[in-house]
Chain A
Amino acid sequence: MKTCLVVDDSSVVRKIARRILEGLEFEVTEAEDGSKALEVCRQKLPDAVLLDWNMPVMDGFEFMGHMRRLPGGDQPKVVFCTTENNVAHIAQALSGGANEYIMKPFDKDIIADKFAEVGLIPVGQAFA
């Protein structure tokens, strides 16, 4: 079973994302800010990270930079999921090592599409 780390300071968003990702057969762990997420990644890197941008303590972009420098840290697929919906932020995320980008609000179809896009789930599953 693939693993996904959901990083968001809103427990409601984490809960919604967990339900969607478990439906896509991911084992889900949660973190409420970038610093806690980094602790999780130091223990064991997930296959995927669904990553909010604006969070207290450490934001998503800074977390991604730290994670990418861990041994094997280039492997996880990072999918941003944020209300920052402008080209400047998207371009910054991509050049910083993000694989995909979701602009909130999101739903199951968008997550499935984006996860299929980066090869985390088969294309067919996104359309099931």
Chain B
Amino acid sequence: MTPPEYEYLRKFLRDHSGLDLSADKQYLIESRLLPLARKAGLSGIGDLVQKLQAGSSALITSVVEAMTTNETFFFRDKVPFDHFRETIMPEVLKARAARRSVRIWCAAGSTGQEPYSLAMSLKEMGAALTGWRVEIIATDLSQEVLEKSKAGIYSQFEVQRGLPIQLLVKYFKQTGETWQINPELRAMIQHRQLNLLHDFSQLGTFDVIFCRNVLIYFDQETKINIFNRLARQVEGDGFLVLGAAETVVGLTDTFRPIPERRGLYKPNDARSAGAKPAIAAAPPRTAAMAGLRA
């Protein structure tokens, strides 16, 4: 997005919705408007701005809505967290009983609501995880949202989206008008800046990968490439969790959907199943992928 395009959108949003973006909110515009642009069959933000300037009224409405809807909240969509509690963790507890460790990757950790929702879910399991080593790695493209995630400070509005009141009282400390998640939960999350287009094999392998509502930003070829690389970072008996509107079906056979568990996938095992070392080097397999990394 060019600076004039950003300035146009800032003024446009101020005029149409009262939303007042500071000079450094490019990431927010991109994360909200890029999926919208693609859906409308446009190549990117530049095209979107041209359409807005031409006065497309349907587009004006959807742009304003996309920018003013608070999209990330605790336990977003609920169902994936039910899967986590009722399907994923019971299997992991059995499969890793000897090793007593679980590694989870939030591949679009954003401002922290998803990783902290997972951390709270794990805490709520109580004694079942006593003596276990739990690692949650939260990655995001934007350093700015990672800083917010690290701080774990949320507005009164944010803590009222998706978060049951009992969990707010139990895991947050109130400071004036804001709420900060407890140090014990903050310590459960490691934050790393990461672009999914780049190599991520250095993160090691995971029992569970949450990769929700981020692949919608990418074209088909890129999605396939990312799925293929994700498949190498998940244990043979691990899980991949996608967003409600996302699927691997028709894109790759490296993962298969689990029946009756929407959004939940297991790797299709051409590889040997079972535990691998926590840090495994994964050599590139396809030429297309090497091209993308450049």
Residue on A nearest B74 in the bound complex, by CB: A113
Mask, B147-175, CB within 8 Å of A = 1, is 00000000011001110111011000010
B161 with A113: CB separation less than 8 A: yes
Query: For the complex, what is the distance from the CA of A63 to the CA of B160, rounded to whole Å?
Result: 24
Known contacts A90-B165, A90-B169, A91-B169; A102/B160 CB under 8 A: yes
Mask, A82-108, CB within 8 Å of B = 1, is 000111001100100000111100100
Residue on A nearest B160 in the bound complex, by CB: A110
- Smallest distance from the beta carbon of B83 to chain A beta carbons, Å? 13
Query: For the complex, what is the distance from the CA of A116 to the CA of B82, rounded to whole Å?
Result: 14
B70 with A87: CB separation less than 8 A: no
Query: For the complex, what is the distance from the CA of A100 to the CA of B162, rounded to whole Å?
Result: 12
Query: For the complex, what is the distance from the CA of A100 to the CA of B177, rounded to whole Å?
Result: 19
B160 with A123: CB separation less than 8 A: no
- Smallest distance from the beta carbon of A108 to chain B beta carbons, Å? 11
For the complex, would chain B's binding face be called helix, strand, loop or mixed by DSSP majority? loop
Residue on B nearest A93 in the bound complex, by CB: B165
For the complex, would chain A's binding face be called helix, strand, loop or mixed by DSSP majority? helix
- Smallest distance from the beta carbon of A109 to chain B beta carbons, Å? 7
A86 with B166: CB separation less than 8 A: no
A109 with B70: CB separation less than 8 A: yes
A94 with B156: CB separation less than 8 A: no
Chain B residues lying within 8 Å of A87, measured Cβ to Cβ, are 169, 174
Residue on B nearest A109 in the bound complex, by CB: B161
Known contacts A90-B165, A109-B70; A85/B156 CB under 8 A: yes
A113 with B160: CB separation less than 8 A: yes
Chain A residues lying within 8 Å of B79, measured Cβ to Cβ, are 123
In the assembled complex, 26 residue pairs joining A and B whose CB atoms fall closer than 8 Å, in A order, are A85-B177, A86-B174, A87-B169, A87-B174, A91-B169, A94-B165, A94-B169, A100-B164, A100-B165, A102-B160, A106-B160, A109-B70, A109-B161, A110-B157, A110-B160, A113-B73, A113-B160, A113-B161, A113-B162, A114-B160, A114-B165, A116-B78, A117-B164, A123-B78, A123-B79, A127-B77
Report B's interface with A, CB cutoff 8 A: 70, 73, 77-79, 156-157, 160-162, 164-166, 168-169, 174, 177
